[in-house]
């Protein structure tokens, strides 16, 4: 079942997780961090580099899982909460990358702000889960 959402200027169809505004933002933010992490020191390969890549990718993956589990509000909220937690974890890794000098302060601040926006959107999804979950007939 497709769901229509209201935006200030129009009504549009949300047929998959890719249609949610938060999903492409999560993918873009993860890819940006991936590019930055390619320049992290070799000794961080199995530490900070791996952690920041995993948590940032997990945000998008959990959004997709939440969408597929929207038959049950509790399952949807659980996966959206997992995405929220991974976004917050990614912010911590960004902070460490800046403090360690692997990421410039300006690049770190920009990435951190992107995750703040994702977090706000995810919290909104969670608080309005009833609007996103499927209704039984």
Q: Please tell us whether the domain made up of 20-128 is placed in CATH 2.40.290.10.
A: no
pLDDT band at 1 (very low <50, low <70, confident <90, very high): very low
Model confidence, pTM: 0.87
pLDDT in tens, 57-71: 999 999 999 999 999
Is the pLDDT assigned to residue 3 strictly greater than 80?
A: no
C-alpha span between 51 and 38 (Å, rounded)? 13
DSSP characters over the chain: --EEEE-SS-EEEE-SGGGSTHHHHHHHHHHHHHHHHTTS-GGGTTTHHHHHHHHHHHHHHHHHHHHHTTTSHHHHHHHHHHHHHHHHHHHHHHHHHHHTTSS-HHHHHHHHHHHHHHHHHHHHHHHTGGGTSPPP-
Kindly tell me if the per-residue pLDDT of 85 is higher than 60.
Answer: yes
C-beta separation of 129 from 73 below 8 A: yes
Query: Rounded mean pLDDT of the chain?
Result: 89
Cβ atoms of 22 and 28 closer than 8 Å: no
| pLDDT at residue 4 tops 70 | no
Does residue 135 register a pLDDT over 80? no
């Amino acid at each position: 079942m497709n769901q229509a959402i209201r935006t200030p200027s129009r009504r549009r169809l949300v047929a998959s997780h890719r249609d949610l505004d938060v999903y492409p933002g999560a993918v873009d933010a993860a890819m940006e961090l991936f590019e930055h992490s390619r320049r992290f020191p070799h000794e961080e390969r199995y530490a900070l580099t791996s952690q920041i890549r995993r948590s940032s990718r997990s945000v998008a993956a959990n959004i997709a899982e939440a969408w597929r589990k929207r038959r049950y509000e509790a399952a949807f909220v659980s996966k959206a909460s997992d995405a929220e937690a991974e976004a917050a974890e990614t912010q911590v890794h960004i902070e460490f990358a800046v403090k360690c000098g692997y990421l410039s302060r300006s690049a770190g601040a920009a990435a951190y702000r992107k995750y703040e926006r994702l977090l706000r959107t995810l919290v909104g999804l969670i608080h309005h889960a009833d609007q996103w979950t499927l209704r039984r007939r």
